[in-house]
Amino acid sequence: MALSMEMMRICVIGAGPSGMSMLYHLAKMEEQGKRIPDVVCYEKQSDCGGLWNFDWRTGVDEHGEPIHCSMYRHLWTNLPKECFEFPDYTFDQHFGKAIPSFPTREVILDYLNGRWKTVNAKKFVRLNTIVKNVIHNPDKDNFTVWARDQDDEKDLPPEQFSHIVVATGHYSFPNMPYFKGVETFPGRVLHSHDFRDAREFTGKRLLVIGSRYSAEDISLQCVKFGATNVVCSSRSGPMGLKWPAEIQERPLLERIEGQTVYFKDGTSTEVDVVIYCTGYKHTFNFLADNLRLQTENTIYPPNLYKGIIWVKAGNKRLMYIGMQDQYYTMTMFDVQSFWACRVILGEMILPENATMETDIARWIQRLENVTSFADAVDFQTEYVMDLCRESGYQHNLDVKYLFTDLDRNRKESMITCRDNVFKSKFTGTVSNKHTKPFMDAFDDSYDAFVN
């Protein structure tokens, strides 16, 4: 049943890049003269930006709620900015000049804020407000949301919504498997979620468990900032990347005895610190069980039509943005959001359940053939372009060729891969070189990077 504008109320949960893209498009549609429904976005942090905010705290916040931040100092993006540039708000437009291709955290957050400001997208956001519970009411076919104002330390009255958009990210709740004997390790054991600054590990011997982006980047950062050496252990075998001499790869950890770590191949070594770069869990403790996406980190999670619409309950008015494993990032969230907004406004009609199920099954079946970085980029390019076409998104977001260049650069050398320049698809601008190579650039401030 189509809802009238009066019957619609949208609750967006989370004001990171995904949630803010929802708000951006709604605000933009409003600016363009469309009527939009009532919208509220609850954000537990004290500012918008999601993971792009830095928090010196780890563990829980002042209110006893899990810290969202997995961000650390000296982070440069691991994708060239040309891979996630917004076609309707380019880096040229924001900075007024060419800047390097691998920006630091503050620079990215500044860029995001710039785009949000163009339509005042933050006006819908209620900061320092945590969502505690969401249920679907089958009788009224709507949702009840319980939220809490953390400033006032008071529960808000429960509110009803026609639509829920879950945009809380999936890089905040550590996946931290047990290894035999880890409880006997005398040094620090941490997850990348709690990693804040590589300088904590200067002069230390590290064990890094994992083989994906966090493992790569944290290993490299630690060597850059003076770790004695890093042993990377992973289930999936060597990453096949060229590392500095201080980084060695080993098979999966088998057990720990005091400071000695043993690997599956029978070798062992002594380390001072164990860093789990074992990824994150999709955790939605604020959702009723029948609304919870349960998935591994995959480029096509189950039970989401077009990667967005929850098909199991809630009459297709529960949506998820940005829950995929990501190659495309900001631009993917953006076209997902645009697609979702058009569906909410009734400008696009969802097919029958059976058709949706078939569509999901078709995509998931194709996952079997995805075995390389290039395959995954191909898959996600197709997914993004499918959303572009369906929603009538005004721009072609395909930047597969940039990922190909990135892949080659990474294989040439992890040490130098961030020193390359890329050309913007939308402005033709070639980024300029950073004044220093990545491994020699120790200042990650906005000023050092942009000015």
Q: Which is nearer to a second copy, 114 or 181 (CB)?
A: 181
Binding mask 261-300 for a second copy (x = CB under 8 A): --------------------x-x-x--xx-----------
CB of 45 to a second copy, least distance (A): 14
Q: Which is nearer to a second copy, 186 or 266 (CB)?
A: 186
Measured at the alpha carbon of residue 173, what is the angle toward residues 296 and 81, in degrees to the nearest 5?
Answer: 80
Q: Which whole-number Å values give the CA distances from 17 to 22, 161, 193, in the listed order?
A: 9, 22, 18
Task: Tell me the pairing of strands 129-137 and 142-149.
Answer: antiparallel
Q: Which is nearer to a second copy, 45 or 431 (CB)?
A: 45
Per CB under 8 A, which of residues 137..166 are in contact with a second copy?
A: 153-155
Q: Which is nearer to a second copy, 62 or 352 (CB)?
A: 62
- Show the tokens assigned to 196: 């804040």
**Total interface residues for a second copy by CB under 8 A:** 41
CB of 192 to a second copy, least distance (A): 11
Distance, in Å, from the CA atom of 198 to the CA atom of 194, rounded to the nearest integer, reads: 11
CB of 266 to a second copy, least distance (A): 24
CB of 433 to a second copy, least distance (A): 27
Distance, in Å, from the CA atom of 23 to the CA atom of 41, rounded to the nearest integer, reads: 8
CB of 132 to a second copy, least distance (A): 8
CB of 348 to a second copy, least distance (A): 33
- CA-derived radius of gyration, the chain: 22
Q: Residues 9, 68, 196, 434: which binds a second copy (CB under 8 A)?
A: 196
CB of 364 to a second copy, least distance (A): 22
Binding mask 329-348 for a second copy (x = CB under 8 A): --------------------
CB of 186 to a second copy, least distance (A): 4
CB of 200 to a second copy, least distance (A): 5
φ/ψ of residue 377, rounded to 5:
-65, -45
Sign of CA dihedral 15, 17, 21, 24: positive
Q: Which is nearer to a second copy, 84 or 195 (CB)?
A: 195
- Show the tokens assigned to 94: 């924001």
Per CB under 8 A, which of residues 37..96 are in contact with a second copy?
A: 54, 56-60, 62-67, 73
Q: Residues 94, 105, 136, 193: which binds a second copy (CB under 8 A)?
A: 193
Q: Which is nearer to a second copy, 60 or 430 (CB)?
A: 60
Contacts of 187 (CB under 8 A, 6+ apart): 259, 271, 272, 273, 274
φ/ψ of residue 25, rounded to 5:
-70, -35
φ/ψ of residue 190, rounded to 5:
-140, 160
- CB 440: neighbour CB atoms within 10 A? 10
Q: Which is nearer to a second copy, 101 or 150 (CB)?
A: 150
Q: Residues 191, 205, 342, 434: which binds a second copy (CB under 8 A)?
A: 191
By CB under 8 A, is residue 194 in contact with a second copy? yes
Q: Report the candidate in 347, 418, 440 with the shortest Cα–Cα distance to residue 80.
A: 418
Q: Residues 183, 352, 368, 447: which binds a second copy (CB under 8 A)?
A: 183
Q: Residues 188, 255, 395, 400: which binds a second copy (CB under 8 A)?
A: 188
Q: Report the candidate in 19, 26, 22 with the shortest Cα–Cα distance to residue 131.
A: 19
Q: Which is nearer to a second copy, 99 or 107 (CB)?
A: 107
Q: Residues 78, 133, 260, 297: which binds a second copy (CB under 8 A)?
A: 133
Q: Which is nearer to a second copy, 190 or 345 (CB)?
A: 190
Q: Which is nearer to a second copy, 27 or 208 (CB)?
A: 208
Q: Residues 185, 310, 320, 333: which binds a second copy (CB under 8 A)?
A: 185
Q: Which is nearer to a second copy, 158 or 237 (CB)?
A: 158
Binding site for a second copy (CB under 8 A): 54, 56-60, 62-67, 73, 132-133, 153-155, 173-174, 176, 182-183, 185-191, 193-194, 196-197, 199-200, 281, 283, 285, 288-289
